[in-house]
């Protein structure tokens, strides 16, 4: 990037001029921008190699960003869901795989943290929860531990429509886990894997969603292994291989939430499943900003030829800008109003926002490629990578594009408990 980079980046910000930021939020976004500028220089290499960006995480750890969503009472920076979304989108503008994998770690702090603070728990559950999350937050704050959060199993479980096939059986002192997770981002890089699984209850006729457990498995636990190759179309640096669990013992302290609490969170906090989308908000901004600089002749390594005077290019930029404004508006509104037990209007808007961000990011990248022309196919420029990475967003559980449409259509037409007879 040339010397005009920071000035040009200000043409379209993640927050926009109408958002009032706290001093802490401004500080965190400045930190994310500074780190992201370094991350962007490595993004192409990690994409080409399908290698995990370890050095990016070393720098985030050193800067204290791994404790972004750890509550201040536990030594963290205390970021809420909205602040996380702004920071993640800013990182995603520079390196999509770092933002996407950081989402897994941040959720491992948000779910037991600020989101759980609003849940209903008995006095005993609340005391247990405090003990449990102190274990995990201390690892992050004191040791710089990195957490993953594998969802997918290749079944309806990842979409929240069936119990997880990965099981946990209660034994003396802990739990015995068996099962398999696929597309597990941070494979081999994480220190702990926050697995969603189903408790096997003695004498129970069938497993239930209410029996879901959230348990952190150490990377070196006996019986835990990472298998399979990783050579995907996009988001290559996430290194999302498969996890196998064969009689993996995890002590009681491995629980990240008490029994039954995860299911309550999943049903009362729908926005907790939209945390992937800030990455794609960042990709959309990156594709737009690159196209502006390219048409102005300001991209390092290319001929300094201006192409902005052509009406077709101006119209394309106008179309991209409109899409970007629409995307940013619903992004900010949805995350800004996120809360426990949101009314129907907000819940539907969360689905619409997630779908819009994922789909518009790819549409903006597509327009960028068409507008910039043949050079955009070259891997020496980022558009080809941004296009591939953005296309993958609509495929990701727990809210794929299809699932967002399904939920939005069904819940718009039916009130709770209504059926057709």
Q: What is the pLDDT of residues 123-132, one digit of tens each?
A: 999 999 999 9
How many Å apart are CA 156 and CA 338, to the nearest integer?
25
* Other Cβ atoms closer than 10 A to 417: 5
Least confident of 69-83, 152-166, 320-334, 351-365: 152-166
The structure's pTM equals: 0.94
Residue 6 clears pLDDT 50, i.e. is over it: no
- Chain-wide mean pLDDT for the chain? 93
How many Å apart are CA 326 and CA 153, to the nearest integer?
34
As a CATH number, domain 5-146 is 1.10.540.10
Would you list the domain boundaries of the chain? 5-146, 148-263, 266-413
Using 50, 70 and 90 to split pLDDT, how confident is the model at 11?
A: low
- Output the pLDDT for position 7: 43
* Other Cβ atoms closer than 10 A to 315: 11
Q: What are phi and psi of 169, to 5 degrees?
A: -110, 130
Q: Does domain 266-413 have CATH number 1.20.140.10?
A: yes
As a CATH number, domain 148-263 is 2.40.110.10
Tokens of 227: 């298998």
- Output the pLDDT for position 204: 58
For residue 411, the number of C-alpha atoms closer than 13 Å in the C-beta half-sphere is 16
Q: Exposure string (b/e) for 248-275, b if CB count within 10 Å is 16 or more?
A: bbbeeebbbbbbebbbbbbebbbbbbbb
């Amino acid at each position: 990037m040339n010397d005009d980079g920071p000035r040009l980046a200000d043409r379209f910000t993640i927050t926009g001029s109408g958002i009032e930021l706290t001093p802490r939020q401004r500080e965190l976004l400045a930190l994310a921008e500074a780190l992201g500028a370094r991350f962007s220089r490595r993004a192409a290499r990690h994409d080409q190699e399908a290698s995990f960006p370890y050095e990016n995480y070393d720098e985030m750890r050193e800067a204290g960003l791994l404790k972004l969503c750890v509550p201040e009472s536990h030594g963290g920076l205390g970021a809420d869901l909205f602040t996380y979304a702004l920071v993640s989108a800013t990182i995603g503008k520079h390196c999509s795989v770092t933002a996407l994998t950081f989402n897994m770690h941040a959720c491992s702090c948000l779910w037991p943290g600020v989101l759980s603070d609003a849940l209903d728990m008995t006095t005993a559950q609340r005391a247990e929860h405090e003990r449990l999350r102190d274990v995990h937050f201390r690892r992050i704050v004191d040791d710089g531990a990195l957490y993953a959060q594998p969802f997918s199993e290749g079944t309806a479980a990842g979409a929240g429509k069936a119990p997880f096939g990965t099981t946990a059986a209660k034994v003396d002192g802990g739990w015995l886990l068996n099962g398999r997770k696929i597309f597990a981002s941070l494979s081999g890089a994480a220190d702990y894997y926050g697995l969603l699984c189903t408790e096997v209850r003695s004498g129970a006729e069938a497993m239930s969603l209410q029996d879901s457990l959230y348990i952190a498995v150490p990377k070196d636990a006996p019986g835990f292994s990472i298998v399979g190759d990783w050579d995907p179309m996009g988001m290559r640096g996430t290194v999302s291989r498969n996890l196998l669990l064969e009689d993996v013992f995890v002590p009681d302290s491995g629980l990240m939430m008490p029994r039954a609490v995860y299911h309550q969170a999943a049903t009362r906090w729908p926005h907790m499943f939209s945390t992937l989308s800030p990455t794609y908000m960042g990709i959309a901004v990156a594709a737009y900003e690159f196209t502006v600089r390219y048409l102005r002749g300001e991209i390092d390594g290319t001929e300094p030829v201006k192409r902005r005077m052509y009406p077709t290019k101006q119209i394309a930029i106008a179309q991209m800008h409109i899409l970007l404004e629409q995307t940013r508006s619903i992004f900010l509104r949805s995350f800004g109003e996120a809360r426990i037990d949101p009314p129907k209007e907000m819940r539907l808007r969360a689905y619409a926002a997630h779908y819009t961000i994922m789909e518009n990011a790819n549409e903006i990248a597509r327009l960028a490629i068409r507008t910039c022309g043949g050079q955009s196919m070259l891997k020496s420029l980022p558009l080809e990578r941004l296009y591939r990475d953005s296309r993958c967003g609509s495929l990701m559980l727990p809210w794929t594009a299809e699932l967002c449409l399904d939920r939005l259509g069904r819940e718009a037409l039916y009130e709770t408990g209504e059926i057709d007879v």
